[in-house]
């Protein structure tokens, strides 16, 4: 990976104190390449803060990705409610930002940690860089609360690093000034390439049947909707020609919705969350993906894996437009029909199994750190309000 111009690394006031705030699995995955790029540059003195929104799903991930978080705010509670999580996070993040006084706070995506990191930074008048900016469904109920979080961060951030031209257009339509929008690609692709190059993972499938990889966790599907989707997965496994593999999210609500229907079937493998090397290897080895995950929708096309998106909306329509993903909703009959068609018809499957990269070329992190170095060298650029 080429690094920012070393000539830019000579900073009058010392290196840029960039505070990276993360707390969930996808934030770790998508910020890891940004942290690696900053660690490799003398222009940065990164400060990594783990909010602790996730615990079991995050700590092994941080180790695998080589991220040493100096601070763990350990806010996670069992069955945490959004309002109490938000309250704890804003308080704890404000304290750490006030104490460390970073030059910039970097947040990623649409989690409660990202929203609270952006809010706390703006209360402390520290400029915010938003990685994976501009994703929109326009529907505050779906995904919930992520669409709200993204829109709010979009009001706060100074730098909006967008994965695609469409995401940039969403921000322009919301009157974010052009000079604050930088289209970089999605850092998830940087990390996926890095991980597969390490060649450390093992696929988690147990059989030689056709391999269907499933992930489900969204709040808006939990309960009756997710139980019905579990019924569809069991019907697929009943075919006898495919293995359905589902690494389970740690959320108790997700487990209660899925496990009773999926357990004790010879063609269904349910397991604990996979560490990233194994998940990447499993994705690379599968024939078909069924998911409601944002990150998986971005990674699968890059590896030429057909994706059925089990959601009512997607903020990542680029893969659908490229013909490698289908938005099939959550209605059980539709999901079953779409999956059956792909499993029955090899030509249909092959038509979607094309490796494309609508979400990035693997160089997003480099563009992000280069932009931050350029702008942090100009103190007037730092405190430009997001809106003129």
* Secondary structure of residue 209 in the 3-state scheme: coil
> Is residue 219 annotated as a catalytic residue, yes or no?
yes
Q: Which residues contact 80 (CB under 8 A, 6 or more apart)?
A: none
| 3-state helix, strand and coil shares in percent for the chain, rounded to the nearest 5 | 45, 15, 40
To the query of whether residue 146 is one of the catalytic residues in this protein, the response is yes
Q: Residue 18: which of ligand UDP, ligand UD1, none does it interact with, CB under 5 to 8 A by kind?
A: none
Report if residue 293 touches ligand UDP, rule: CB under 6 A.
yes
3-state secondary structure at position 57: coil
Question: Which of the residues 105 through 124 are near ligand UDP (CB under 6 A)?
Answer: none
Taking the least distance from each CB to ligand UD1, the nearer of 53 and 184 is: 53
Q: Candidates 23-31, 154-162, 315-323, 348-356: pick the segment binding ligand UDP (CB under 6 A).
A: 23-31
Using CB under 6 A as the binding rule, whether residue 243 contacts ligand UDP is answered as no
Neighbours of 179 (CB within 10 A): 11
Among 117, 295, 360, 362, binds ligand UDP (CB under 6 A): 295
132 tagged catalytic:
yes
Residues with Cβ within 8 Å of residue 366, at least 6 apart in sequence: 1, 2, 3, 4, 37
Closest by Cα among 89, 1, 4 to 49: 89
Q: Which residues bind ligand UD1 (CB under 6 A)?
A: 24-26, 53-58, 76, 78-80, 110-112, 145-146, 217, 219, 250-251
Q: Do residues 190 and 37 touch, judged by C-beta distance below 8 A?
A: no
25 binds ligand UDP (CB under 6 A): yes
The burial class, CB within 10 Å (0-12 / 13-18 / 19+), for 326 is middle
DSSP state of 213: E
Catalytic residue among 166, 211, 217, 367: 217
User: Residue 89 or 372: which CB sits closer to ligand UD1?
Assistant: 89
Distance CA 17, CA 49 (A): 13
Write the interaction track for ligand UDP spanning residues 199-218; mark x where CB under 6 A is met and - where it is not. Answer: ----------------x-x-
Residue 247 site contact among ligand UDP, ligand UD1, none (CB < 5 to 8 Å, cut-off depends on kind) = ligand UDP
Nearer to ligand UD1, 54 or 130 (CB): 54
> Of the listed 27, 103, 146, 375, which one is catalytic?
146
In the list ligand UDP, ligand UD1, none, the entry touching 145 (Cβ below 5 to 8 angstroms by class) is ligand UD1
104 binds ligand UDP, rule: CB under 6 A:
no
Q: Which of 33, 134, 154, 294: binder of ligand UDP (CB under 6 A)?
A: 294
Joined tokens for residue 308: 């059925």
Residue 299 engages ligand UDP in binding (rule: CB under 6 A):
yes
- Give me the torsion for CA of 338, 344, 345, 349, rounded to 10°: 60
Return the one option of ligand UD1, ligand UDP, none that residue 76 interacts with (CB less than 5 to 8 A, by type). ligand UD1
Nearer to ligand UDP (CB atom), residue 305 or residue 367? 305
Asked if 108 and 159 touch (Cβ cutoff 8 Å), the reply is no
Residue 54 interacting partner from ligand UD1, ligand UDP, none (CB closer than 5 to 8 Å by kind)? ligand UD1
Which of 27, 103, 132, 298 is catalytic? The answer is 132
249 in active site: yes
* Cα–Cα distance for residue pair 92/117, rounded to 1 Å: 10
Q: How far is the CB of 51 from ligand UD1 (least distance, A)?
A: 10
User: With contact defined as beta carbons under 8 Å apart, do 282 and 305 qualify?
Assistant: no
Q: Using the rule CB under 6 A, which residue among 276, 308, 311, 370 binds ligand UDP?
A: 276
Identity of the residue, 11 or 320, whose beta carbon is nearer to ligand UDP in the bound complex: 320
CA distances (Å), 130 to each of 31, 47, 245, 353, in order? 11, 16, 33, 32
Other beta carbons less than 10 A from residue 39's beta carbon = 14
Ramachandran sector of residue 330 (left: φ over 0; alpha: ψ -120 to 50; beta: rest): alpha
Is 180 an interacting residue with respect to ligand UDP (CB under 6 A)?
no
Binding site for ligand UDP (CB under 6 A): 25-26, 29, 188, 215, 217, 247, 273-274, 276, 279, 293-296, 299
- Residues with catalytic function: 110, 132, 146, 217, 219, 249
């Amino acid at each position: 990976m080429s690094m920012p111009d070393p000539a830019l690394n000579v900073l009058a006031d010392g290196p840029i104190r960039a505070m990276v705030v993360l707390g969930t699995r996808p934030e770790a995955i998508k910020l890891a390449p940004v942290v690696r790029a900053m660690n490799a540059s003398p222009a940065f003195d990164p400060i990594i803060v783990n909010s602790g929104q996730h615990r079991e799903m995050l700590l092994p991930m941080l180790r695998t990705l080589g991220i040493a978080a100096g601070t763990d705010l350990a806010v996670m509670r069992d069955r945490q409610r959004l309002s109490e999580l938000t309250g704890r996070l804003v308080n704890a993040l404000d304290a750490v930002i006030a104490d460390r006084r970073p030059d910039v706070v970097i947040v990623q995506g649409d989690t409660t940690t990202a929203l609270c990191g952006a809010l706390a930074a703006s209360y402390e008048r520290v400029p915010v860089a938003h990685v994976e900016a501009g994703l929109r469904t326009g529907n505050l109920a779906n995904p919930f609360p992520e669409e709200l979080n993204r829109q709010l961060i979009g009001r706060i951030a100074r730098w909006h690093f967008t994965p695609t031209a469409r995401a940039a257009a969403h921000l322009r339509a919301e009157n974010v000034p052009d000079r604050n929008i930088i289209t970089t690609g999605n850092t998830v692709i940087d990390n996926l390439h890095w991980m597969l190059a390490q060649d450390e993972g093992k696929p988690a499938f147990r059989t030689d049947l056709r391999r269907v990889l499933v992930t489900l966790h969204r709040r808006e599907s939990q309960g009756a909707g997710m139980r019905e989707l579990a019924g569809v997965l069991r019907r697929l496994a009943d075919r006898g020609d495919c293995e359905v593999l589902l690494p389970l999210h740690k959320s108790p609500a997700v487990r209660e919705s899925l496990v009773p229907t999926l357990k004790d079937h010879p063609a269904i493998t349910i397991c604990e969350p996979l560490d990233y090397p194994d998940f990447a290897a499993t994705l690379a080895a599968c024939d078909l993906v069924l998911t409601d995950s944002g990150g998986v929708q971005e990674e699968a096309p890059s590896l030429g894996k057909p994706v059925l998106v089990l959601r009512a909306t997607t903020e990542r329509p680029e893969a659908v437009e490229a013909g490698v993903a289908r938005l099939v909703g959550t209605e059980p009959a539709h999901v079953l029909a779409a999956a059956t068609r792909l499993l029955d018809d090899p030509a249909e499957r092959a038509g979607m199994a094309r490796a494309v990269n609508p979400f990035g070329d693997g160089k997003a992190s480099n563009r992000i750190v280069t932009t931050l170095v350029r702008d942090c060298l100009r103190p007037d650029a730092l405190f430009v309000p997001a809106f003129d």
